[in-house]
Amino acid sequence: MIDWGWIADHIGAIAGRLGQHIELTAIALVVGFAISLALSLWSLRRPRAKTLVIGISGILFTIPSLALFAAFTSITGLSLLTAEIPLVLYTLVIYVRNMLVGLEAVPADVLEAADASGFRPRERLLRIELPLAIPLIVSGLRLASVSTIGLVTITSTIGDAFGGLGFFIKERPFFLTEVLVGAVGSIALALAADAAFARLQRRLTPWAAARTAVDPR
């Protein structure tokens, strides 16, 4: 059923597309992260801003990606922007929701103790709030990475220059081997990213694992 010979012959192309897939994903994740962090910090204590940010990013997310990619093809042509702008926009709601929940989950007594100790607002943000929000921020990264890896396959609709592993899904739809390379490859990539970020999350929170039997003194 599977033509291993074809795979062997095209290993270079496959590696290239894999690399492209990772590159497209990474750019979107990084740019999206930066924008979302800025938006989250801005709307953290501004209820109306928060509604606006979550509302707009939510609406964007609802729009089917084929539509958005095709629309941008018309605006920004066959450039990297056409692929990346929608990819970034789709990460926003995932990131922002998780970042805001993470930042808002810092207990009030911890914030009060920080203020009373004499932290300046920026010091408090950098040394107390953000570190404590890390588990949820990484959770956002995890969800965004899986989502983006999936969306990158759809960039193949922009043109042959894009698509990452998605290229192989579309190129010859009846050729099972090639389709499998693209489909299974992108699924495997997504699962790998999911597992990697899950591990990262566990590594970054040593204090959560510290619960031990309590000594009633």
Partner 1 sequence: MTLPGEVWAWLTDPAHWTGPSGIPMRLAEHVAISAVSIAIALAIAFPIGLWVGHTRRGVRLAINLANVGRAIPSLAAIGIVVPFTVLIDPDAGFKVIPTLIAMVVLAVPPILVNTYSGVAEVDADLVEAARAMGLRERQILGRVELPLGLPVILAGVRSASVQVIATATLGAIYGLGALGSYIVEGVAQNDDGKLFGGVVLVALLALLSEALLAFAQRRTTPRGLRAAATTEPAGA
Partner 2 sequence: MGTAERVVFEHVSKRYPGTGTGNPGAVEDLSLEVPAGKICVLVGPSGCGKTTSLKMVNRLIEPTSGRILIGDTDVARRDVIELRRSIGYVIQQVGLFPHQTVGENVATVPRLLGWEPARQRARAAELLELVGLDPGRYAGRYPTALSGGERQRVGVARALAADPPVLLMDEPFGAVDPIVRERLQNELLRLQEELAKTIIFVTHDIDEAIKMGDLVAVMQVGGHLAQFGPPAEILANPASEFVARFVGADRGLKRLALVRVGELELREATTARPGEDAAAVRPRAAADSFPYVLLVDEANRPIGWLDERRIPASGPLVVDHAEAESPLFDRHTTLKDALSMLLEAGVQAGIVVGGAGAVEGLVTVEMIMERVRPA
Minimum distance between the CB of residue 126 and partner 2, rounded to whole angstroms? 12
Q: Is 189 helix (H, G, I), strand (E, B) or coil?
A: helix
Minimum distance between the CB of residue 143 and partner 1, rounded to whole angstroms? 7
Provide the mask over 70-109, with x wherever binding to partner 1 is found by CB under 8 A and - wherever it is not.
xx-xx---------------x--xx--x------------
Candidates 38-46, 65-73, 75-83, 205-213 — which segment interacts with partner 2 by CB under 8 A?
205-213
Closest CA to 168 of 7, 1, 4, 5: 7
Provide the mask over 92-111, with x wherever binding to partner 2 is found by CB under 8 A and - wherever it is not.
---------------x-xxx
* Residues 170 and 163: beta-carbon distance below 8 Å: yes
Is 217 near partner 2 (CB under 8 A)?
yes
DSSP 175: -
Total residues contacting partner 1 by CB under 8 A comes to 45
Minimum distance between the CB of residue 127 and partner 1, rounded to whole angstroms? 30
* Residues 29 and 148: beta-carbon distance below 8 Å: yes
Is 1 near partner 2 (CB under 8 A)?
no
Please give the sequence-ordered ranges of beta strands (E in DSSP) within the chain, or none if there are none.
none
Minimum distance between the CB of residue 94 and partner 1, rounded to whole angstroms? 5
> Using CB distances below 5 to 8 A depending on partner kind, what does residue 102 bind out of partner 1, partner 2, none?
none
> In whole angstroms, what is the distance from residue 40 CA to residue 168 CA?
37
Minimum distance between the CB of residue 107 and partner 2, rounded to whole angstroms? 7
Q: Which amino acid is at 81?
A: L
> Using CB distances below 5 to 8 A depending on partner kind, what does residue 90 bind out of partner 2, partner 1, none?
partner 1
Total residues contacting partner 2 by CB under 8 A comes to 28
Give Cα separations from 55 to 71, 93, 161 (angstroms): 21, 9, 33
* Residues 173 and 127: beta-carbon distance below 8 Å: no
> Using CB distances below 5 to 8 A depending on partner kind, what does residue 53 bind out of partner 2, partner 1, none?
none
The token pair at 72 is 């941008």
Contacts of 32 (CB under 8 A, 6+ apart): 87, 88, 90, 91, 92, 95, 144, 148
Closest CA to 178 of 6, 1, 5: 6
Binding test (CB under 8 A) with partner 2, winner from 15, 113, 176, 192: 113
Contacting residues toward partner 2, per CB under 8 A: 107, 109-120, 123, 128, 131-132, 205-208, 210-212, 214-217
